[in-house]
Amino acid sequence: MKDFINKLYRNHSLIYKALLLVATTFLIVYLFPKSGKFKYNFEKGKPWQSENLLAPFDFAIKKADEEIKIEIQKITESSVLYFNLDNAVEPEVRSAFEIQFGKKFSDSVQNISFPALKTCGNEVLNELYGFGVLSEDYSFSEKRAVAILDERTKKQDAFYSNLIKQSKVSSVIDKVLSKNDLLGYKADFTSLFFDIIEPNLSYDKSFTDKAIQEELDKISYTRGSVAKGTLIVSKGEVVEGDKYQKLESLRSEYESQVWNESNYNWVLFAYALLVALAMLMLLLFLRKYRNQVYENNTKVTFIFFNVLLLIFITTLVVNYNSKYIYIVPICVLPLVLKAFFDARLGLFTHVLTVLLLGFIVPNSYEYMFLQIIAGIVTILTVSELYKRANLFISVGQITLIYIIAYFAFFVIHEGSIETLEWETFIWFILCGLATLFVQPLIYAYEKLFGLVSDVSLLELSDTNSKLLKELSNKAPGTFHHSLNVANLAEASASEIGANAMLVRVGALYHDIGKMKNPTYFTENQSTGINPHDELSSKESANIIVNHVIDGIEIARKNKLPDRVIDFIRTHHGTSVVYYFYMKEKKNFEDVNKADFSYPGPKPFSKETAILMMCDSIEAASKSLKEPTSTKIDAFVENIINKQIEEGQFLNANITFKEIQSIKKVLKHKLANIYHLRIEYPE
């Protein structure tokens, strides 16, 4: 049992990655659609590339979206409008007419005209309330059929033009008076009726909508059917018209049919295999080409988390409305991974993620082509992300690539630009704006996962920061030494394509441990008094070696990133404090070399190896007397060759060719520092 537990402990990192792979696969498959995938790809207006296709089962031919839209529009525009009739209004109006008419015309007309006027008034009321007076004006077509409901019972049918709008009351009065040759009484009748006329019809929107919905529910979304074994399309035939509709119907039927438990489980199993294969490829890539990332479980988790997050967001958008699919800023993924790791890892992960998204999105080939091209452009254009202008320029280029590629695909599919949906370009612009969110996202990731990006490195490189200010005050010689090393290391890193910003920051902070005992280091001894004269060689060596441990403690206290602390930890590797070691050997024959050696570890990256070389060269260069080009060349060669012989760079992925390039840069820089010139004759 104990051996089993020990074995588990030794392989805990591998077990964690296996569990991470399984968990990520499960979550991604959970987000995927749980149906079969139609195995044929086809495009409208293009030849059928596969063999002759026979119907695998009976299925109905679905109507095209345009057909259904036309039917819906026709039903909506021709449906009956329902109005509720208020029976109490008309009797009240007629009663009011009897009262008001007597008051209005008793003294103003001769008795002989009075009955005619009253008959004309009743005729006006009959005209107005024949169908009814509307409570408000509506913008319906005059030819629209209407039904008048009396307590939810249909009383009569009519057209909307038969109903009297309140704005038309005056014209009805004019019409009746004109017919009876009584236009001279227009003003009196108008004032009379405008005081007593009340609407008795109100639009019943809910009842009308319910009736329309009942008609819409009767729409058939299919027209005809295809029997099993019927030829749908032959190889080489152009997919258009009825053939295209049959293929669309077959694909829709195939992907939406109800799966039994056995089929469902097989679909899940197949999806899980494909997703696990993709994520396994990512792990294998990390193990083979990015072993430092692979060994760090936090970084592996970070990469898997970003892949899962993008798939989750894309699934939400597709489920809501697939036309917004291009708003999702997929290019954030390569941007983030390039900021924290490198371009190659960013592109590889981006391509795998886009391939997985192909299972979710419609028009998967078009989508994958667009996103992969955009990812490549992102990797190629975005450099020095900490410069704001670079990000804006790159986002503009990415958006332009989206628009050009989409336009090309549309023309290929449709053959013209007449039906081009220009609003799609707005989605691409919104996607570009969303991509700018990468800056705050990188900051959040730094805090959550303890990573460091070039943006943070730029902040750390500020010599006015609190820690570097303290270093310049307590150990000015060390601070000046660190600045010189930073310049040498940055130039060397740029020469071989390493991370120049990272190595510069590492150089600025690599000796902060000397703040604890600054006067024990020669660069800070301005008074000429050397405290080591009063100590034994072993004690002196112990103080010198401890500046690495002290530096790590100070760095952790000031919350410096681990990538920067790595430079403090490795800048001396396992080398020996040679001066005090040789001094001890003069006095004693049996000297333990480990007592005079740094604890390590050895440099394990190009950047930490560069710092070791530059730190040794800069420190030792102070001992050069009357430097010449020949002396400097030999000096650089000797120091770096000695480090190679001691095996200090065995763990760093740096080549002999790159070391030679670094030597060349250091020789040139030292020559400039010491202002070597040709000797002029006197």
We report the CATH number of the domain holding residue 509 as 1.10.3210
Q: Which two tokens stand for residue 608?
A: 């930490």
| pLDDT value for 351 | 94
Contacts of 537 (CB under 8 A, 6+ apart): 580, 581, 583, 584, 587, 596
| pLDDT value for 111 | 46
**490 & 636 share domain:** yes
Residue 457 lies in a domain: no
**544 & 580 share domain:** yes
pLDDT in tens, 530-575: 888 788 888 888 999 999 999 999 999 998 988 899 999 999 999 9
| pLDDT value for 480 | 93
Put simply, whether the predicted model's pTM sits higher than 0.85 gets the answer: no
Which residue stretches of 201-342 are H helix?
205-217, 241-256, 261-289, 291-295, 297-320, 332-340
Its sign, for the CA torsion 649, 650, 652, 658, is: positive
Domain containing 227: what range? 37-63+220-258
Q: Which residue has the tokens 């898997």?
A: 304
**42 & 98 share domain:** no
Residue 194 lies in a domain: yes
Q: Which two tokens stand for residue 567?
A: 């430079």
**660 & 514 share domain:** yes
Q: Which two tokens stand for residue 526?
A: 């301005």
* Adjacent-strand bridge partners of 454: none
Residue 124 lies in a domain: yes
Its sign, for the CA torsion 510, 515, 518, 520, is: negative
| pLDDT value for 52 | 78
**652 & 508 share domain:** yes
* Adjacent-strand bridge partners of 62: 222
**245 & 390 share domain:** no
Phi-psi bin for 74: left (phi > 0), alpha (psi -120 to 50), beta? alpha
| pLDDT value for 666 | 92
Pairing of strands 201-203, 222-226: unpaired
Q: Which two tokens stand for residue 117?
A: 């006027």
**47 & 95 share domain:** no
Helices 606-621 + 500-509 axis angle, to 10: 50
Both ends of the chain: CA-CA distance in Å?
87
Contacts of 187 (CB under 8 A, 6+ apart): none
**663 & 531 share domain:** yes
Which residue stretches of 180-259 are H helix?
186-196, 205-217, 241-256
Residue 512 lies in a domain: yes
Residue stretches of the chain with pLDDT short of 50: 111-112, 258, 676, 680
| pLDDT value for 638 | 92
Helices 261-289 + 297-320 axis angle, to 10: 140
| pLDDT value for 258 | 47
User: For residues 615 and 510, is the Cβ–Cβ distance under 8 A?
Assistant: yes
Residue 454 lies in a domain: no
- Domain C-terminal end among 426, 445, 467: 426
pLDDT in tens, 5-53: 666 667 788 889 999 999 999 999 888 765 555 666 676 766 776 777 7
Cα gap 663→649, rounded to integer Å: 14
Q: Could you give the number of structural domains in the chain?
A: 4
- Domain C-terminal end among 215, 234, 249: 215
| pLDDT value for 567 | 94
**372 & 485 share domain:** no
**516 & 606 share domain:** yes
Cα gap 52→50, rounded to integer Å: 7
| pLDDT value for 9 | 65
**21 & 78 share domain:** no
**319 & 246 share domain:** no
Q: Which residue has the tokens 């030679």?
A: 660
Residue 335 lies in a domain: yes
Residue 615 lies in a domain: yes
Residue 433 lies in a domain: no
Cα gap 556→512, rounded to integer Å: 12
Q: Which two tokens stand for residue 661?
A: 């390039």
User: For residues 339 and 454, is the Cβ–Cβ distance under 8 A?
Assistant: yes
User: For residues 133 and 199, is the Cβ–Cβ distance under 8 A?
Assistant: yes
